[in-house]
Each structure stands twice: as structure tokens, then as C-alpha cells.
Structure 1
Amino acid sequence: MGGYRISDWPRHILFFAAVPPPPFIRHVRQIWPLVGTGDRLRDKTLHMTILPVIGDDEVDPGLVRALSGALAGFSFPSFDITFDRMMTFRAKKKRPIVLRTPETDILVDQLARTVGRALTGTFPKFPKPGRVTPHVTLAYGAGFDGERLLPAPLGWRIRDIALIDSVQGEGRHIHLARWRLGTGD
């Protein structure tokens, strides 16, 4: 959405994401004063985007039902994700300050493709998912150059994914649906 003026942004952005559990969020809160940038930590909306869906001014309940129905019977094993560094993504104004994995994660890409295939059964023109850059956005701000290694790696076992409505300008996420991943344990 880099080319949009704020008044042009859709009010709601829907996406599928993995949401970290409370212990991960508590750990991020503890280390942010040590490794962070002084920008406001967005600890109420931490997530790792798996697949974007749509941006619109209103959430269509029919679309939410159709998305939920498309993933009925969805199956994928649970898996671990580990972040070991912080970096800043490029942006024109406030830059996303993110946790990153050491490299691209094949399982995250496979999860995105599996969700995408499930959606194309209901939405034949749904775009084929591209590669996922596994990250968790911590804050927005001036950022920094390069990477900062964390004092210790952070991670969690991804046991489910959620369909999320990100209400723009409010810093609020509404969880619309959730799917449990297989145990994989």
C-alpha cells in the first residue's frame, strides 16, 4: 500500500496470520526496552502474516463466511518458527521494525500455498500466493540500518491460523475465524 495517501487506504484489511501465544508476547515486552528503538511497541497486534486477502472500506459478512467455508476441512501440521534478529523494512514514512527469521521458512511458504489452494476452490481467481517473508512487526518508526541480533532467539509453535480484520488507524485486530493446525508433535 506504499502509493496510497492515508485518506485512500481501505478501512479494513483482511488477512490470514499466525498469532503468537502470550509467553512470546511477554518475552517481546521484556526485551523491547533493551533492543527496541523507543517507538511504541504494537504488542496488542503481533502476528505473522501468512496470506493477505483484501482491503475494503467495510467487512462483508458474506465474504467472511465464504472464506471460512473455503477452509472447512483445512489441514496442515503445526510447526515451530524462530526469530533471531530485528531489522527495518523500507517504507516512505514510518518504517516497519520487525523480527525476522535467519532465512526464508519453507513451512511458512507451504502453509501459504495450502491456504491459497483451499481458497481457489471457492474463489477461482484468488491470486497464487508468493513467497512469504516471515516476520512479526513490532513497531513503526524511523528504524535503523542493518540488522540487530536478539540476545536470544524467540519463537513459538504455530498451532493455528486466524482470519484477521485489521482496522486501519485504530491499531486494532478483530479475529474473525480460527483454524487449528495438526499436532505435528
Structure 2
Amino acid sequence: MTSRGSGSASSAELPCRRLFFALWPDPSLRSVLVQHGNRLDAGSGRRVPDANLHLTLVFLGDVPADRIDALETLAGTVAATHRPFTLVLDRYGTFDRARVAWLGGPAVEAGNRLVEDLAAGARDCGLDVERRSWRPHVTLRRRIEAAPDGPAPAPIAWRVRDFVLVESIRGRPYQVLRSWPLE
């Protein structure tokens, strides 16, 4: 997906940054996710680096630098209207076309509303974000050749208290730019 803006010509000339809104695990949860990645048998798949484990809320794509302040304002406004909630990650799965294996669970209404509000706000900022149902998952392995094999995982309750804006720079760990607590 690409981000296309309806902004001025100057926006098209500005450098872009590859961004997304996400849930970022605390160190304890990250450790549990790493253990799942280590246990998951998905053919010759490559484990996602520990520092990059996250759960995407809204992928923003390549964002012109002049829109980042508006996205941060949007995030603050959205965070102030949402409460903490719990996601349960209780199954392994794959996205065959992308060749990834993941740990995920059912979407909950509070999470759906958060995603919808962030996506609608991003569109209001002139970004072209996908309009598909949110499927909560943490990608554990990439370039898999087969579906994960083994027993279902023990359910993990992820208490969502905040969300973050993350930058993806090729060849480097993801960088959290800012976080917002849910009120």
C-alpha cells in the first residue's frame, strides 16, 4: 500500500518516512512473544527480530514529513477518547501470500474502534490507508514455507494501555517515535 496525499506540491517534494501506529509490548510481554517465535515451527521461516515484535493498528506507509505533526495531533485526540482494553492472543496462523506466521486472536470492539478512529483520522490527514478489517496479530516469522506445526499456544492476555507511532527504516530496528496512553 502506498500513501498518497492530496496536499500541495511541496508535500510531494518533502522526504517521506515509513510509519505505522502499533501496540508495543512491554519487556515482559516481549519475552513471552520471543518464546513463541522460538517454539513456532514454520518451515525455514526467519524469526522476526525481538526488537521489532509489535501488533500493527494502522499501516500509514510513506508519510511526507509535513504531515507527521498532524498525525501526532490526531493520535493525541484519539487516545483521549479511548480506554484501556484487553486483547487475547490464542492462536497461530499464516498469511500465505505474505509468507508470514503469526500469533493472534479475535478483534475486540474497543480495538476495532481505536483502529477505525486512527485510520479515519489518517485519511483526513491526506493519507491513503487500507480499508479492511483489523486482524490482531504479531508476526513471528517471515518467509515461511509451511503453516506452523504444533499445539495451539496458551492464551496471552495483552492489556492495552497505550499505542505508539513507529518508523520503519530498512536494515534497522523499528523506532518508536512517540506513545500515547489511553485515558
Instruction: Establish whether TM, by shorter chain, passes 0.5.
Output: yes
SS at match of 1:179: strand
SS at match of 2:72: helix
* Displacement of 1:33: 3.2
Quote the residue 2:85 is aligned against. Answer: 79
SS at match of 1:44: helix
Matches within 5 A, 1:25-44: 25-37=30-42, 39-44=46-51
Quote the residue 2:140 is aligned against. Answer: 138
Matches within 5 A, 1:1-185: 12-37=17-42, 39-55=46-62, 60=65, 62-74=66-78, 75-91=81-97, 95-101=99-105, 103-120=106-123, 123=125, 129-145=131-147, 148-168=150-170, 170-182=171-183
Distance 1:52 1:148 in 2: 30
Query: Does the aligned pair in 2 maintain the 1:116–1:126 contact within 8 Å?
Result: no
Query: Does the aligned pair in 1 maintain the 2:51–2:173 contact within 8 Å?
Result: yes
The CA deviation string for residues 84-122 of structure 1, in whole angstroms up to 9 with x for no partner, is 111221126xx1111121x333322111112234445x5
User: Comparing both structures, which one devotes a greater share of its residues to strand?
Assistant: 1
**Total equivalences in the alignment:** 165
Provide TM-score, normalisation by structure 2.
Answer: 0.75
Alignment CA distance shift 1:119-1:154 (3 Å): same
Q: Which amino acid aligns with 2:92?
A: M
* Displacement of 1:140: 0.6
Q: Which amino acid aligns with 1:161?
A: F
* Displacement of 1:26: 0.9
For structure 2, the 5+ residue unaligned runs are 2-15
Distance 1:33 1:148 in 2: 12
Distance 1:77 1:50 in 2: 15
Alignment CA distance shift 1:145-1:54 (3 Å): closer
* Displacement of 1:72: 3.1
- % same residue: 24
Alignment CA distance shift 1:132-1:148 (3 Å): farther
Alignment CA distance shift 1:31-1:135 (3 Å): closer
